[in-house]
């Protein structure tokens, strides 16, 4: 491969301004959001259309250059970061950011992969609809990346994850062909489900260029409350109570330990927990209603009354206006930002059956604290989905890089052994990327892992799309 002629060919496809080759221009695309992974790339290429993506893939096949597709670069597993070998290109979809159409009768919107999630949410509201995918990175992550990682976020317990919100895809295959799968159908049993195969495949099977998304009626009113619970069994009983009494009106159920909130407040003092006496667990609950403000407010008050009577909660604050509700959510979302400011940490994005969650937390906390005295367990997450962000930070005053270098493997092993014991998953919503590549065979089992490798070989025999992410062949 002659680098110069390869670059010239890429330039002829997308135009010279859209092939970045200088170190400074490429730098923002070569390190992930957490600054955990840094790689190198021949170039960063920014196509403006699906046809240009297809032409780039064909050019890369001919030159035997692998492609690392990138959306908003907010992923947590290094999936969008090239390896340090420098033999890959980064394909950034940021220029493919058009909303192609909205079909009000069908309640769908067709968007290009480089649309920022928040811009889709706003466009949906402008038509009187809700696009329910919601996460802390929504101001910069892109829908292609959301689908490629099957992102979760805070509305999963009511609306499902990214997979549940997508009806059709347009994909450029590893052969540089275009699969036109942009149908907005809620039923389609015509053989294998290709859409679901590409969703969650983290750029290893195809390049998502556009998607048909589901829209929902915009709720009339939302009420948010923060409640204090003393233990996880009470929190889970509270979840059951809300599910029974509020049913589909329950749209958020998030858990934060006080240790997480203390860290958050130490970096963002204006975001201290408004509940008094620093309860062990703070739960953020959101109800969304289509009937009326009074209806949902009354329902929330009645459920909280029962919860207080049954001693499931010891304290509660209902947000009295929109800005207080936003402040509750900000506190929740800022735990990740506080951790980033505090320094390197070890993330564990895990799910457990709700029935095992308490035992998991008690035994893992005990093992962790006895092995690493002074360790900080920053545990929070989407309790309604059984999804914990069980993040580990070194004892205060200990250099995080030195600590991670010495203890990372042992800490991951400790947590993941516990996850296996309690029937959980080592990746709930963030994916595999390069971070969890090595642990996947043991976790999924040889049979499942071999099927995944067979799929990768069948769809991408030249191993051109994001090699050595998710699975190695
Ligand atoms: P990128 O990081 O650019 O890419 C992620 C993966 O998808 C890579 O493997 C990449 O190759 C692939 N990819 C990207 N675009 C395409 C495409 N068009 N076709 C094929 N493959 C593609 N995640 C959650 O699930 N829930 C959360 O609550 C959540 N909160 C977050 C909060 C913060 C502050 C941050 C920084 C991140 C959070 N994330 C969360 C993680 C991240 O935002 C999601 O994984 C998101 O879906 C990634 O989107 P992206 O556009 O940034 O993708
Ligand atoms: C969230 O739920 C994100 O806020 C980030 O998934 C989790 O920081 C994390 O580990
Ligand atoms: Zn999360």
Band (pLDDT 50/70/90 cuts) for residue 292 is: very high
State residue 419's pLDDT score: 98
Burial of 36 (0-12, 13-18, 19+ CB in 10 A): middle
Q: Is the CB of 347 under 6 A from ligand 2?
A: yes
- pTM attached to this predicted model: 0.98
Q: Which residues are registered as beta bridge partners of 221?
A: 289
CA of 10 to the centre of ligand 2 (A): 36
pLDDT in tens, 116-168: 999 999 999 999 999 999 999 999 999 999 999 999 999 999 999 999 999 99
CA of 405 to the centre of ligand 1 (A): 25
pLDDT in tens, 308-366: 999 999 999 999 999 999 999 999 999 999 999 999 999 999 999 999 999 999 999 99
Distance CA 272, CA 283 (A): 14
Atom of ligand 1 nearest to the CA of 93: 18
CA of 55 to the centre of ligand 2 (A): 36
Tell me which of 45, 50, 137 to substitute to probe ligand 1's pocket, judged by most ligand atoms within 8 Å of the beta carbon: 137
pLDDT in tens, 47-106: 999 999 999 999 999 999 999 999 999 999 999 999 999 999 999 999 999 999 999 999
State residue 468's pLDDT score: 98
For residue 216, is pLDDT > 80? yes
Write the DSSP string, 249-280: GEEEEEEEEHHHHHHHHHH-GGG---STT--S
CA of 407 to the centre of ligand 3 (A): 24
Atom of ligand 2 nearest to the CA of 339: 8
3-state secondary structure (DSSP) of residue 98:
coil
Atom of ligand 1 nearest to the CA of 198: 20
CA of 38 to the centre of ligand 1 (A): 16
Distance CA 340, CA 344 (A): 7
Distance CA 144, CA 117 (A): 9
Domains of the chain in sequence order: 3-92 (3.30.43.10), 99-217 (3.30.465.10), 221-342 (3.30.70.2190), 349-421 (3.30.70.2740)
Average pLDDT for residues 401-414, to the nearest whole number?
Answer: 96
Calculate the CA dihedral of residues 437, 147, 90, 92 and round it to 10 degrees: -160
């Amino acid at each position: 491969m002659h680098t110069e002629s390869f670059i010239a060919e890429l330039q002829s496809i997308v135009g010279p301004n859209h092939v970045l080759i200088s170190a400074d221009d490429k730098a923002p695309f070569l390190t992930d959001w957490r600054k955990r992974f840094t790689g190198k790339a021949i170039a960063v290429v920014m196509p403006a259309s699906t046809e240009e993506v297809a032409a780039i893939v064909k050019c890369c096949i001919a030159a035997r250059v692998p492609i690392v597709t990138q959306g908003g670069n907010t992923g947590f597993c290094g999936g969008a970061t090239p390896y340090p070998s420098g033999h890959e290109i980064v394909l950034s979809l940021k220029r493919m950011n058009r909303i192609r159409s909205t079909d009000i009768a069908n309640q769908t919107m067709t968007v290009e992969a480089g649309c920022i999630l928040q811009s889709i949410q706003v466009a949906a509201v402008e038509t009187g609809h809700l696009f329910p995918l919601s996460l802390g990175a929504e101001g910069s992550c892109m829908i292609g990346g959301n689908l490629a990682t099957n992102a979760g976020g805070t509305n999963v317990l009511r609306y499902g994850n990214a997979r549940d919100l997508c009806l059709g895809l347009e994909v450029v295959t590893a052969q540089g062909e275009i699969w036109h799968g942009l149908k907005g159908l809620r039923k389609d049993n015509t053989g294998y489900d290709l859409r679901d195969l590409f969703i969650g495949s983290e750029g290893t099977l195809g390049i998502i260029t556009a998607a048909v998304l589901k829209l929902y009626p915009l709720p009339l009113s939302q009420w948010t409350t923060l409640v204090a619970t003393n233990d996880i069994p009470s929190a889970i009983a509270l979840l059951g109570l809300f599910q029974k009494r509020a049913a589909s009106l329950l749209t958020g159920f998030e858990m934060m330990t006080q240790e997480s909130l203390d860290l958050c407040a130490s970096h963002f003092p204006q975001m201290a927990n408004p509940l008094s006496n620093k309860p062990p667990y703070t739960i953020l609950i959101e109800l969304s209603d289509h009937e009326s403000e009074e209806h949902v407010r009354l329902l929330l008050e009645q459920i909280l009354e029962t919860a207080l009577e049954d001693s499931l909660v010891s304290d509660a604050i209902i947000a009295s206006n929109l800005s207080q509700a936003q402040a509750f959510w900000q506190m929740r979302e800022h735990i990740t930002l506080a951790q980033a400011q505090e320094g390197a940490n070890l993330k564990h994005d895990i799910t457990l059956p709700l029935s095992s969650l308490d035992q998991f937390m008690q035994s893992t906390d005990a093992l962790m604290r006895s092995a690493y005295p002074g360790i900080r367990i920053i545990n929070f997450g989407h309790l309604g989905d059984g999804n914990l962000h069980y993040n580990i930070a070194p004892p205060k005053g200990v250099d995080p890089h030195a600590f991670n270098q010495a203890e990372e493997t042992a800490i991951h092993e400790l947590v993941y052994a516990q996850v296996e014991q309690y029937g959980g998953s080592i990746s709930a919503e963030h994916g595999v990327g390069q971070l969890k590549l090595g642990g996947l065979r043991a976790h999924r089992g040889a049979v499942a892992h071999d099927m995944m490798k067979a799929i990768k070989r069948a769809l991408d025999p030249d191993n051109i799309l994001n090699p050595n992410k998710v699975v190695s062949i």
